[in-house]
Structure 1
Amino acid sequence: MEASDPTPQSNPVIARAYRASVVLATTKGVERSRGVQAMVKALQNAFDDILDANTMDLEASREMAVPELVLDWLKLTPERLQIAIGILQRIGELSDPIRRVMNASYQLDHSQTYCQMMPLGVIALIYEAFPELGAIAAGFCIKTGNSLILKGSSEASQSNQVIAEALQNALDEAGLPSGCLELFPSEQGASMRDLVTRDDYLNLVIPYGRPTLVQQVLQQATVPVLRSAMGNCYLYWSESGTWDGVRSIILDSHASIPDPVNAIEKVLIHRNQKPSSLMNLCKSLSDKGFKLKADAELVAKFPDQLTLASESEWSQPYLDKVVAFKLVDNTEDAIAWINQYSSRHADCLVTESYLESRQFSLKVDSASVYLNSSPRFSRNPKRGDSVFLGMSNQKGYRRGMITLETLTTLKQVVQGNGQF
């Protein structure tokens, strides 16, 4: 009697991705790097077709009155597409993380124990607009030996289709297993729940978009979720901090295009800061096109410059050129407020006090803390030997920057000598 096929028969996309992941996990690093480089060439060859498809997506989305924020994320300029290609190129050139040997935390008698980085298996990316993000995620997954299932939003359906087909053809030509990159067919009646509840075959889900999308995935998924975060980052302007330093950090944090991952949207101000300094900051930000809000106390003092921020706004991202100000009495109050209301992935301090810097960095419960430094996010930083898919604010699976290593797991190997 023949053994039954262990792959999921209810959905062919998941079945193909699962089967491909088993084969992909055993490939050599040079083969996977070759696959990533093939994807680079495929995107270059399909450059105009991708932009044409994106134009059609934009026209259809405008007719459906899609919000301007999503339209900005959807609009794929030649520069944005070229940046994505550059990130893929760099991924292909990075050292192979898979089967990298690491020291184990314990040893057994008559044996040697070590750890190896291994692929997770099958990863799903559920993303809103951002058509180039699917290509970048494909580079991350192929490099780390994982199969990838893409589920994009309807606004970017044509862009996603053209990109996925180009990448799939490239991977086939590179000799990598068919199914290692799949596009989830939502138009055929398959819902997001059908994907994120397949914890028997899917190993990780990464949601990327507005908080409503992330929450929807978290509520429905039985698969482990790598929660991403965007916006609602706080800055504490301490008593010794300068308004010009605050201004520079806010402006730079909003310069990450198209997704304002670490944009400073809320500023807590020490009560002893001079009103003239706040006015200088407000004028400078207004001149740059920012809308300014504040708590009731500050609005009462400066009604011509500030509008009232509602209570719910302190815990929600604007994802736009909006900054809200609030007065606090001291550093402890600022830290407590940040820990309660920020998105807890990137929060800042502007100060000239070393002790205050230490207090802030130790007590703020966020994935990243920036001291007199801009939190501006870049997927392809000029310095260092890593690229980033996004930013995670959770304390579970992984926290902080999503790197190649984030998409791996550890296997412990115990090598004995035959003695017991």
Structure 2
Amino acid sequence: MEHIANIETTALDVKQIRKDFPILQELVHGKPLVYLDNGATTQKPLTVIETEARYYEEYNSNVHRGVHHLSQEATNAYEKAREIVAGFINAAHTHEVIFTKGTTDGINLVANTMGRRFLKKGDSVIISAMEHHSNIVPWQIACEESGATLKVIPINEKGELKMDAFTTLLDDTVKMVAVTYVSNTMGTINPVEDIIAQAHARNIPVLLDAAQAIQHMTIDVQALQVDFLVFSGHKIYGPTGIGVLYGTTEWLNKLPPYQGGGDMIKTVTFAKTIYNELPYKFEAGTPHIAGAIGLGAAIRYLQQTGTDKIQQWEEQLQAYALEQLRQIDGIRFIGDAARRSGAISFLVHDIHPFDLGELLDQQGIAVRTGHHCCEPLMDEFKIPGTVRASLTFYNTKEDIDKLVAGIKRAVSMLR
């Protein structure tokens, strides 16, 4: 993406885009909704809602299992969605795209199967201090069951990984590195290219949690040379309950099935089961067909809108938000990395984040409060939680102005 020199001439028509998202026209407590909780879930454009409804209204049927017309139509739409995802992340093969329930499900799939086949006592797995619980707990379980050890990359006061410590941790015991691409709490963009390069120099596979990255930046899995990458549909303007696990053909073929059931088999007898080929080996049971089709529609919407333009606007909006928030007396940012995207976490004076969040809600402003499923990170900063404003391309500078004014109004009531 070229540097933003003439941003005003290339900026999105955000006013028009907002009309594509029905919920943004809603009132909350009698006030226009200011939705700044996109890190938790993004809102859905009308095309996604209509696409999912059309599946149920016009060709609802199970996939891969019928010769009748509706089943064929559903199967074609479901597999077309897989092609759309593969193209979006530049996977080498469509069979490298596994549909899951979401990021959590994808990480559990890899952690469980890696633990069963590749981890043993004396081995170790590396994660980072800024991980979401979804990229901590599955690895803890895998390590507990296999006797392996979990190692953690520390962070500095700005919320950036200490890469010298990572290099030290990366010894011959390490069998997997699993890190977030972008912190869901602080917005820190991690140096994933460097992490992958160092790990691969020792033939160690890498999993990237891209739940907070996929909606903000272009991701090319082949250019990254990443082994596994996971993300959730609902955080990229698609339905809930659908997600993606990308894995290289080499690694997906090495891993055993995660669950047993229909569709992940070729033949079954009471004596032996022969498993299906990729990607179906990891897609047991009836999948979230409507969700996958809806995810395909969400990605198509982004591509038609222009992912470069989206990224340019979001970068400009984040810079404006940081500039305006810094003017609030008593504000303290939790994480202030040089490279960041999406999320901005902060505290104001000694006000509890829940109290501030509730008063913002009364003004129609939706933010997230709490530990954001990152309790170890909160412990690192010795705080109970934060207020998090997370931005996306349908947000406006007016949203930011309302947030700043809302914080000031809340502070005046609480102090």
TM over 0.5: no
Larger radius of gyration: 1
Higher RCO (CA < 8 A, seq sep 6+): 2
If the length of structure 1 is used for normalisation, what is the TM-score? 0.28
TM-score (norm 2): 0.28
